[in-house]
Structure 1
Amino acid sequence: MVYDYDLLVIGAGSGGVRCARIAAEQGAKVAIVEKQHWGGTCVNIGCVPKKLMMMASGFGDEAKLSQGFGWSNQRGEHHWKALIEAKNNEVERLNQVYLSTLRKAGVHIYTGSASFKDPHTLQICKSSLSPEYFETKCVSSERIVIATGSLPTLPDIEGNTLGITSDQAFYLSERPKRVLIVGAGYIGIEFSGIFKGLGSTVDLVYRQKLPLRGFDEDLRQALYDGITQRGITQHNECKPLNVLKRADKYIVHLDNGKKIETDCVFFATGRHPNSKGLNLSTVGVNLSSKGQIFVNNEFETNVPHIYAIGDVIDKINLTPVAIAQGHALAERLFAGSQRHNAYAMTPKAVFFYPPLSSTGLTEEEAVKEGEIEIYQTQFTPMRFAFSSSKFKTFIKMIVDKKTQKVIGLHIMGIDAPEMMQGFAVAIAAGLTKYGFDQTIGIHPSSAEELVSLRQITRVAKKV
């Protein structure tokens, strides 16, 4: 068979773009199809604009902190529209960067909606955003990669369509004075901090006892305390029953009997794989009931020449993981490489104020593997020395007692993600606690505490 392409990628998010570019640089004939967002969710309606908005929300706090150091400036009024305009301009610039990168690599670009016509052929329907004119095209490829990401999930309650998700939050024409956020995962926590930092009153509703399910329990407790200290009202161990509209306000009834009036209801209730509409049943690709595409360790579906990467496989749903998967897959297919990444030690960050970051195992996971030693500390960093806002930095290190390898690290505090990226390399490489102890700290810094932990807080093992 002669195909139009050696590789065709569906979805131009970070993972899909990396896969297409690396394959093209290895000499493959490559095409990529994207319906709307060049750069995907992360660049357009995800981590990049979210961090820009998080940074905006923190500047007011920094101005207030500076007064303790002798500055006389007063915290001024924030202009939401100016922020959104600046964010939109940056996102558009990044869109063009992604397109330019693909074109320079020799990747053929299609803007449209793709679906399978047969196992090697995609039907591409023209999008209104397409720079080239076509109604419908059919293109064939020897190999096809699905990198279509994920979409927000709405809760199954009355009035769910009255709320917004993160997709709409980035384009609100005005900042709501009162926001009720449902969900305490990455998105719920980060946007609660953004809106609060910019001046909104925020209610945070979630089902668990503590926020950020899946993170270390002590880190979750530190975050719970930090959320309250930030001035956000938490409604834990409950969920919304319905959302009602009353004039220009919304009424949310919770299952604990409380009723909350707000100007905006924001659902941060998870995401689901974006596999609907690809016509995968035609080619027999196996899916879960939620739309997750099943793959093996080489990102192969049950159909040998069809692959999937990123959020659509619903494993570790982080942008750098999708990029690593796309890079590894392209090199394996076209460069004979056996590139692999240390996914078990994937570092994570949640951009609250202050932010938090983790790598490796939680205490709850580690004790299932064997006996562990816990090193833990909490302190007020110098940034808050002259302020009434005494946000604490929390650090927890988990060490395998037998091997003395550091197998988990959890930090909440200013610059936590920046600190974690460097230490994640050491942990992924298998550094022992002795290696940390040998390292000279940078003084004065919060990061020096990581190489100064000497006293074991406790020893734990599986009961």
Structure 2
Amino acid sequence: MSDFDYDLFVIGGGSGGVRAARVAAGDAGAKVALAEDDRYGGTCVIRGCVPKKLMVFASEYAGVVEDAASYGWDLKNGPFDWVSFQSRLNKELDRLEQVYRDLLKGSGVETFDARARVSGTHEVTLSTGETKSAKHILIATGGQPVRPDMPNAHLGIVSDDIFHMETLPKSLLIVGGGYIACEFAGIMNGLGVEVTQYYRGAQILRGFDEEARGLVAESMRERGIDLRVGTNIVEMAPASEDHTASWTGTASDAAMGADVQQRQEMQAEVDGPQGPVWVKSTTGQERVFDMVLFATGRDPNTKDMGLEEVGVKLGRRGQIEVDAYSQTAVPSIYAIGDVTDRVNLTPVAIREGMAFVETVFKGNPTSVDHELIPSAIFTQPEMGTVGLSEEDAREQEPVEIYCTSFRPMQTAFAGRPDRVLMKLVVSKETRKVLGCHIVAPHAGEMIQLAGVAIKMGATKEDFDRTVAVHPTMSEEIVTMRNPMRTA
């Protein structure tokens, strides 16, 4: 008989944790428990990938109605019904959460709807007061959005909140330039909201291929998003207050400023984060927005979990440090997914969970290959990417760049200015395709298949030997014969 209550205790009911728990229980026959203090399904299913993608679909219909006239259809464009859409969205999320619960139950995993804290190298304590022991503990608690450290930041919302809005704002300021900020800019703009976006850097989507992100930024502006780079918030306050004394520095009495600040915070508690917000930018402009959305980063969920007390090492941002097999500095404790801040993608967390089970319960040490992972950004148009950007590849070795940008048939016929981009980064020496970048409608669907070829080590000549599918946008990937530039 085991000396522990369980062979495995999983903390976190997201995609990675649930997959590891049910495979360990169902395939490996382990006695498994899982604790989740929020909704099952985690960030991706409940407040990330799934609801966001459904919102992307919803936001694109306005353009469909407009384009239809060019194709002979007389469709009527009415106002977007947020309440109706949100109701259907919530029903779908409820259904998916139940699927996750049923999968765990069907695999024999015992579940606790409670917060779990690590209280020993083989022990967790639940918020219910129960203490459970386990031979192995797996941390899969994901991450959470963060607000900037500035006065009145509580007046803004974060990405988790956007799915719970009772009504759509008329005007929205999005602060940030990463993929979450840019995706929601496109979504809200498509739903009829007046969107302004501030990003402190020189160009949005830092870290992605420069040419590709430049086209995304251009397209966002063409669609009506007021994108302002080199811009950030310096001050914000409830719009109902007189800001002159507290924000412009004209008050003669510091106590008066403190009193105004206190009244602002009290008013914010009454209004809630969706009340009108006065904002002053680094460029000196002042404006009132119905809502401010902070999309300024995410931090791993490791706060107050007792990890460092038992010897688990955390990085600068709170991420759990693990080896290639997801093992922490404490041999009995492992971690997967966003909480490790390796590659923060749901399919990666799932693979890490599967590799953990292979390693720990099936005696087959397995690590996850984090190289050449395809990914998509659901901006409008989408961006799909796999491998090295042109800039990173140039620093590594001599390369050839094959690139084309053009107006796709469907939208060109409708008279829209939209452009797409197809790009291959190729090693001069080995001829291998080091990176592929696509900016186009359905780029996510295209990059998945390109990712297979690139992961297999396909060369530019392999692409050239592939017959094009005509007429499609993706055919350009195999018809680019001459490099646009070399480096």
TM range (shorter): over 0.9
Q: Which residue of 1 aligns with 2:28?
A: 26
Q: Are 2:331 and 1:304 aligned?
A: yes
Q: Secondary structure at the match of 2:447?
A: helix
User: Structure 1: which amino acid aligns with 2:185?
Assistant: S
By how many angstroms is 1:321 displaced? 1.0
Contact 2:146–2:297 (8 Å) recurs in 1? yes
Q: Which residue of 1 aligns with 2:50?
A: 48
2:40 to 31, 38, 41: 38
How many corresponding residue pairs? Answer: 451
Contact 1:179–1:263 (8 Å) recurs in 2? yes
User: Structure 2: which amino acid aligns with 1:305?
Assistant: S
Contact 2:34–2:111 (8 Å) recurs in 1? yes
Q: Which residue of 2 aligns with 1:133?
A: none
1:143 to 136, 149, 160: 136
By how many angstroms is 1:140 displaced? 0.7
Contact 1:9–1:20 (8 Å) recurs in 2? yes
Contact 2:237–2:278 (8 Å) recurs in 1? yes
User: Structure 1: which 5+ residue stretches go unaligned?
Assistant: 127-135
1:163 to 156, 164, 187: 156
Which runs of structure 1 show a deviation greater than 6 angstroms over 4 or more consecutive aligned residues? none
The CA distance in 2 between the partners of 1:336 and 1:400, in whole Å, is 38
Q: Which residue of 2 aligns with 1:13?
A: 14
Q: Secondary structure at the match of 1:344?
A: coil
2:219 to 207, 219, 226: 226
By how many angstroms is 1:31 displaced? 1.0
Contact 1:215–1:362 (8 Å) recurs in 2? yes
Q: Which residue of 2 aligns with 1:259?
A: 286
The CA distance in 1 between the partners of 2:187 and 2:431, in whole Å, is 39
The structure with the largest alpha-carbon Rg is 2
User: Structure 2: which amino acid aligns with 1:200?
Assistant: V
Q: Are 2:449 and 1:422 aligned?
A: yes
Alignment of 1:364-383 (within 5 A): 364-383=391-410
Q: Secondary structure at the match of 2:105?
A: helix
By how many angstroms is 1:342 displaced? 3.6
Q: Which residue of 2 aligns with 1:388?
A: 415
Alignment of 1:276-295 (within 5 A): 276-295=303-322
Q: Which residue of 2 aligns with 1:125?
A: 127
By how many angstroms is 1:368 displaced? 2.0
User: Structure 2: which 5+ residue stretches go unaligned?
Assistant: 241-274
2:463 to 430, 436, 456: 436
1:133-179 Cα offsets, whole Å, 9 max, x none, are xxx21111100010000011101122100000011100000000100
Alignment of 1:348-363 (within 5 A): 348-363=375-390
Contact 2:175–2:181 (8 Å) recurs in 1? yes
The CA distance in 2 between the partners of 1:62 and 1:73, in whole Å, is 9
Q: Which residue of 2 aligns with 1:92?
A: 94
By how many angstroms is 1:284 displaced? 1.3
Contact 1:437–1:451 (8 Å) recurs in 2? yes
Measured at CA, do residues 269 and 80 of structure 1 come closer, stay the same or move farther in structure 2, by a change above 3 Å? Answer: same
TM-score, length of structure 2 as denominator length: 0.91
The CA distance in 1 between the partners of 2:138 and 2:41, in whole Å, is 16
TM-score, length of structure 1 as denominator length: 0.96
Contact 2:325–2:365 (8 Å) recurs in 1? no
By how many angstroms is 1:103 displaced? 1.0
By how many angstroms is 1:240 displaced? 0.5
By how many angstroms is 1:454 displaced? 0.7
By how many angstroms is 1:87 displaced? 0.7
Contact 1:342–1:428 (8 Å) recurs in 2? no
1:313-370 Cα offsets, whole Å, 9 max, x none, are 1111111111111111111211233444442111111111111110000111111221
Contact 1:10–1:148 (8 Å) recurs in 2? yes
By how many angstroms is 1:290 displaced? 2.1
User: Structure 2: which amino acid aligns with 1:3?
Assistant: F
The CA distance in 2 between the partners of 1:381 and 1:343, in whole Å, is 33
Q: Which residue of 1 aligns with 2:62?
A: 60
Measured at CA, do residues 12 and 352 of structure 1 come closer, stay the same or move farther in structure 2, by a change above 3 Å? Answer: same
Aligned CA RMSD, in angstroms, stands at 1.1
Q: Secondary structure at the match of 1:170?
A: helix
User: Structure 2: which amino acid aligns with 1:163?
Assistant: G
Q: Which residue of 1 aligns with 2:201?
A: 208
